[in-house]
Amino acid sequence: MSTFHTPVLAKEVIDALGIRRGKRYIDATAGGGGHALGIVEQGGIVLGIDADADAVAEARRNLRRVRPEAEEGKDWIIVKGNFRNVVTIAKDTGWENVEGMLFDLGVSSFELDTKERGFSYRFPDAPIDLRFDRTSGETGESLLRRLSEDDLYEILATYGEEQSARRIAHGIVRARSVRPVKTADGLMAIVKDAGHHIAEIPGIAARVYQALRIAVNDEMGALREGLEGSRVLVKRGGRLVVLSFHSLEDRMVKQEMRTGPWHMVTKKPLTPNARELSQNRRARSAKLRVAEKL
Ligand SMILES: C[S@@+](CC[C@H](N)C(=O)[O-])C[C@H]1O[C@@H](n2cnc3c(N)ncnc32)[C@H](O)[C@@H]1O
């Protein structure tokens, strides 16, 4: 298994897609290519998409290494792009009708564990970047510099569900009046100064980073557009499979499957079992929902 990212609910995702030999599937979040590989191994043809150039390179490397017999361009294609543009990407690649589409939302382990990518509070001198696509858009540092206290509060409270959002937003505005908040340790000093018990700090730090990441990448907006794209691209009887890691994402997915042109296959979301959780802590908030196109 690649150390880049361990695919969550790997077997369940592939089963849910109901892979048929020679049929086409879109993996909208290729990451390290773990799920894409699973589709190819079952005889499916994959168009993998990722906004992150490092993920695109790794997914290609992984597929070439593990399935050298699979032909690039015929059995699989991995392209860089944002899944909010999935309809355009699919049309440009000649993939207008597919049997299934997968979204495995959020962040890869590689992104979290690579200091320079600035996705984690664990590296004190790391920049606060948080962009999936490092070639476009504003960084977390830029949001911390530019947004008003009320906007920062909204982000921390909504996307981080952080109880001390007000105190932290206030702390950011106060700190940046002295010097810009550029690195993880600068942001962590603000979290610590907001008067929390030491044991609470890692949880709060994770929620603050999650909130900023969702805002930086407009993850809710991208998901809305990506799901709209799935309506256009998935054939009748085809599957929409979504792995989410945040309650707001799960709510949006559930809403789409209830009100869109879908039959909800999973009445309740599937979650990782104790064995998977003991091997992969990062799977702990995963929820898998599956729908079939009407
Ligand atoms: C959890 S990982 C996917 C892991 C992958 N399923 C695997 O098995 O290795 C999520 C990936 O989605 C990508 N991503 C997040 N939002 C995206 C978006 N709007 N468009 C394209 N890729 C996105 C991230 O860069 C990351 O590589």
pLDDT per residue as tens digits for the range 150-194: 999 999 999 999 999 999 999 999 999 999 999 999 999 999 988
What number of other Cβ atoms are within 10 A of residue 177's Cβ? 8
- Per-residue pLDDT of 2-23, as tens digits, reads 589 999 999 999 999 999 999 9
State if residue 5 touches ligand 1 by the CB under 6 angstroms criterion: yes
State if residue 82 touches ligand 1 by the CB under 6 angstroms criterion: yes
- Per-residue pLDDT of 69-107, as tens digits, reads 999 999 999 999 999 999 999 999 999 899 999 999 999
Which atom in ligand 1 lies closest to the alpha carbon of residue 132?
25
Pocket-testing residue among 108, 245, 285, ligand 1, by greatest number of atoms within 8 A of Cβ: 108
State if residue 213 touches ligand 1 by the CB under 6 angstroms criterion: no
> Mean pLDDT across the stretch 272-283?
95
- The DSSP bridge pattern shows strands 76-80 and 45-50 to be parallel
Question: In the block, which residue shows the tokens 């998935």?
Answer: 234
The radius of gyration of the chain from alpha carbons, rounded to an integer in Å, stands at: 19
Q: What is the rounded distance in angstroms from the CA atom of residue 232 to the CA atom of residue 101?
A: 11
Q: Please, where are the H alpha helices in the chain?
A: 10-17, 34-41, 53-66, 86-93, 109-113, 140-146, 149-158, 165-176, 184-193, 201-216, 219-233, 247-259, 274-279
Residue 120: pLDDT above 50?
A: yes
Residue 214: half-sphere exposure toward Cβ, Cα within 13 Å: 25
Any residues with CB less than 8 A from the CB of 156 and at least 6 apart, and which? 162, 165, 168, 169, 207, 208, 211
The candidate with the shortest Cα–Cα distance to 106, out of 237, 253, 229, is 253
62 three-class SS: helix
pLDDT band at 1 (very low <50, low <70, confident <90, very high): very low
Phi, psi of 77 (to 5 degrees): -140, 135
Q: What is the rounded distance in angstroms from the CA atom of residue 253 to the CA atom of residue 250?
A: 5
Write down the mean pLDDT value for the chain: 96
State if residue 83 touches ligand 1 by the CB under 6 angstroms criterion: yes
Cα of 53 vs centre of ligand 1, distance in Å, is 11
Cα of 31 vs centre of ligand 1, distance in Å, is 5
The candidate with the shortest Cα–Cα distance to 265, out of 238, 244, 284, 245, is 238
Its pTM stands at 0.96
Task: List, in order of start, the domains of the chain with CATH numbers.
Answer: 10-110+219-293 (3.40.50.150), 133-216 (1.10.150.170)
Nearest CA to ligand 1 atom 27: 31
Nearest CA to ligand 1 atom 24: 107
Question: In the block, which residue shows the tokens 């790794």?
Answer: 58
Which atom in ligand 1 lies closest to the alpha carbon of residue 81?
21
68 three-class SS: coil
> Mean pLDDT across the stretch 37-42?
98
What number of other Cβ atoms are within 10 A of residue 248's Cβ? 15
Give Cα separations from 223 to 21, 105, 106, 170 (angstroms).
28, 9, 10, 30
